[in-house]
Amino acid sequence: MKPETSVFLDLVRFCAALAVACDHIVDYTNGFLWQVGAMIGVFGPQAVDVFFVLSGYVIAYAVTNRESDVIQYAVSRCARLYSVVLPALIIAYVLGIIGSMMRPEVNWGDTSLIAYFRCLTFTNQLWLSNLTPGNDSPFWSLGYEAWYYLIFAAAYFGKGTWRIVLTLLCVAAAGPRIMVMFPLWLMGVAAWVLATRITCAKFRAGLIWCGCMALTGALVGWQLTRVISGAEVEIAAPWRTMANWGAFSADYGVGLLAALSFLSFNLSAEYWTKLARIIQKPVRWLAGATFTLYLLHVPVAQFLGAISPWPIGTLPEQTLVVAGTFAIVFLVAEYTERRKSAWRNAIASVLRRRSKAPAEHPL
């Protein structure tokens, strides 16, 4: 992948995670930066749409450049997920238990071990299920994304009849709520494939990318104006219900816009070489905590807000929750996703010891 494109994707990844985090942290600070939180609350679901498109784009790149067989693919996906998911679930559970003992009147969500186990195995969103660890609502998206990894592996690495059988079995197991968002993930795959197969003048591609960014800025600015003016705004999470099929048009529209921006940026990346070099280090560092920020901000913010000695909404309480949440998240990230190589090596060692390498693997 071009260095400029990699930096751009890292920046998009962090901004999307930051948007989701700001949306939720507002709930525990009695409206700190409420305008930003309210605006992002409307675009929060669409920030996850961007994550899905980005995931498909990166996976398509990985299988065409680094992960040539299903074992390499499985090791990379498991390392990516469990390097953060396992520590995040443990931390969320511990904070929930301690918090419920200190402040039993606070709603700590579903703290049952079955909910945590379902999240650990990514079966928390199958069909009619909607389980999250405690109140950690962002965890729902992993119950979608992990199945996209599995479906793609079956379709891409499968051979002969096994490819069709395994793909259909995965689709059937996932259920309609998960599959209705799968086109977003496939938009990311398509964006990468097109980037490697089509030619386009750099200037024209750059204009298309600038147009995508201008449209995104206009939509965000329009929504912020409505929020500040007090206009009523409907916030929808269409993937959690199958009742309103028309609501999916917004998600697919955002997905197409994201996919087009990734494609056009990649085709015009040389225009941004100098800028990418300047911002590369800070962007890489921030992106190195994206997954941890996404999964841990809710349990940490809720815990800090609950144990705060100051009343909610006061400046000391807001400072504790906001600053404390980001400080803890970035500290934890040093031992989770920034150590993916160690996790990858450990997982690869386990898989190699236990695999028997049949003559022709079905995947």
pLDDT tens digits, 113-164: 999 999 999 999 999 888 999 889 899 999 999 999 999 999 999 998 989 9
What are the two backbone dihedrals, phi and then psi, of residue 130, each rounded to the nearest 5 degrees? -150, 70
- Domain membership flag for residue 216: yes
Q: What is the pLDDT of residue 362?
A: 36
Can you spell out the DSSP letters for 268-324? TGGGGHHHHHHHHHHHHHHHTTHHHHHHHHHHHHHHHHHH-SSPTTSHHHHHHHHHH
| Beta strand ranges found along 33-109 (DSSP E) | none
Lowest mean pLDDT: which of 31-45, 53-67, 77-91, 275-289?
A: 31-45
Position 182 pLDDT exceeds 90: yes
Look up the pTM and report it: 0.88
Strand partners, 110: 134
Confidence of residue 264 (pLDDT cuts 50, 70, 90): very high
Mean pLDDT for the stretch of residues 52-73: 91
Distance of CA 258 to the CA centre of its chain: 14
Cβ–Cβ < 8 Å for 102, 84: no
Mean pLDDT for the stretch of residues 315-340: 91
What is the count of structural domains for the chain?
1
Distance of CA 331 to the CA centre of its chain: 19
CA-nearest of 327, 326, 316 to 32 is 316
How many whole angstroms separate alpha carbon 49 and alpha carbon 301?
24
Give the residue with greater pLDDT, 185 vs 226: 185
Q: What is the pLDDT of residue 183?
A: 95
- Domain membership flag for residue 360: no
Position 110 pLDDT exceeds 50: yes
Q: What is the pLDDT of residue 349?
A: 76
Confidence of residue 225 (pLDDT cuts 50, 70, 90): confident
Mapped onto helix, strand or coil, the DSSP state of residue 110 is strand
Mean pLDDT for the stretch of residues 198-208: 88
- Domain membership flag for residue 70: yes
Confidence of residue 251 (pLDDT cuts 50, 70, 90): confident
- Domain membership flag for residue 244: yes
Give the residue with greater pLDDT, 71 vs 238: 71
- Domain membership flag for residue 362: no
Boundaries of domain holding 206:
3-354
- Domain membership flag for residue 359: no
Q: What percentage of the chain has pLDDT greater than the value 70?
A: 85
Confidence of residue 355 (pLDDT cuts 50, 70, 90): low
Cβ–Cβ < 8 Å for 15, 261: no
Task: Write down the residue that tokens 């238990």 correspond to.
Answer: 97
Lowest mean pLDDT: which of 8-12, 74-78, 204-208, 224-228?
A: 224-228
Torsion sign over Cα 7, 9, 13, 15: positive
Q: What is the pLDDT of residue 90?
A: 95
User: Can you read off the two tokens belonging to residue 257?
Assistant: 């816009």
pLDDT in tens, 23-41: 788 888 876 655 555 555 5
First to last CA, the chain: 26
Task: Write down the residue that tokens 């941004």 correspond to.
Answer: 272
- Domain membership flag for residue 361: no
CA-nearest of 276, 261, 263 to 209 is 261
Mean pLDDT for the stretch of residues 61-73: 88
How many whole angstroms separate alpha carbon 181 and alpha carbon 196?
25
Mean pLDDT for the stretch of residues 75-103: 92
Q: What is the pLDDT of residue 219?
A: 77
Confidence of residue 353 (pLDDT cuts 50, 70, 90): low
How many whole angstroms separate alpha carbon 328 and alpha carbon 309?
19
- Domain membership flag for residue 64: yes
DSSP classification of residue 138: G
Mean pLDDT for the stretch of residues 312-317: 86
Lowest mean pLDDT: which of 1-15, 327-341, 344-358?
A: 344-358
pLDDT in tens, 232-243: 444 444 444 444
- Average pLDDT value over all residues in the chain: 85
How many whole angstroms separate alpha carbon 214 and alpha carbon 37?
22
Task: Look up residue 183 and give its amino acid.
Answer: P
